[in-house]
A and B are shown apart, each in its own frame.
Chain A
Amino acid sequence: MVDAVIEGIRERVSAAIQVNQSVGIQVPENRHGDLLEAVFNSMCRNTHDIWTFVTVSKTFDYLAKTFKESTRHPNIKFIDCISRAAGMSDNSSNCIFLESPVMLENLILEITNNFKGQNRDMDKYIVIDSLSALMIYNDPEIIREFISLVMNRSRAENIHVVSILVEEEMDSNKLIQLNDKIIVLRDSFID
Chain B
Amino acid sequence: MPIKKEVCSTGIEELDMKMSGGYPLGSTVLVTGCSGSGKTTMCMQFLFNGARKGERGVFFTITEPLFKLTKNLEGFAFYDKKLIESGMVNIIDLRIISERLGLDTEKYTVEDAGALLDILKDIADELDVKRLVMDSITALCYRLQTREMIRDFIFKLGTSLAVMKCTTLLTSEVPPQTFKFSQYEIEEFISDGILFLGDVERKGDLIRTLQIIKMRGTAHSRTKFALNISAQRGIELIPLLKSTEFESLLKR
Contact = CB atoms under 8 A, between A and B. Distances in A.
Interface of A: 99-100, 102-106, 108-109, 113, 137-139, 141-142, 145-146, 149
Interface string B225-238: 01010000100101
B244 interface: yes
Given A99-B205, A137-B203, A142 B228 contact: no
30 contacts: A99-B205, A100-B205, A102-B202, A102-B205, A103-B202, A103-B205, A104-B241, A105-B226, A105-B228, A105-B239, A105-B240, A105-B241, A106-B226, A106-B228, A109-B236, A109-B238, A113-B233, A137-B203, A138-B202, A138-B203, A139-B243, A141-B243, A141-B246, A142-B202, A142-B243, A142-B244, A145-B241, A145-B242, A145-B243, A149-B241
A127 B128 CA distance: 51
Nearest to B246: A141
Nearest to B225: A105
B207 A105 contact: yes
A142 B205 contact: no
Please provide the 6 A-B residue pairs with the shortest distance between their CB atoms, ordered closest to farther. Answer: A105-B226, A142-B243, A141-B243, A102-B203, A105-B238, A100-B205
A142 B241 contact: yes
B30 to A, nearest CB: 24
Contacts of B6: none
A149 B241 CA distance: 9
Contacts of A99: 205
B247 interface: yes
Contacts of A146: 241
A102 B247 CA distance: 13
Contacts of B205: 99-100, 102-103
Given A113-B233, A149-B241, 16 more contacts: A99-B205, A100-B205, A102-B203, A102-B205, A103-B205, A105-B228, A105-B240, A106-B226, A108-B238, A138-B202, A138-B203, A139-B243, A139-B247, A141-B246, A142-B202, A142-B244
B208 to A, nearest CB: 10
Contacts of B233: 113
Interface in B56-82: none
Interface in B189-211: 202-203, 205, 207
Contacts of B242: 145
Contacts of A100: 205
B248 to A, nearest CB: 12
B241 A109 contact: no
Contacts of B202: 102-103, 138, 142
Contacts of B244: 142
A113 B236 CA distance: 11
A171 to B, nearest CB: 15
A58 to B, nearest CB: 21
Interface in B159-203: 202-203
B86 to A, nearest CB: 28
Contacts of A137: 203
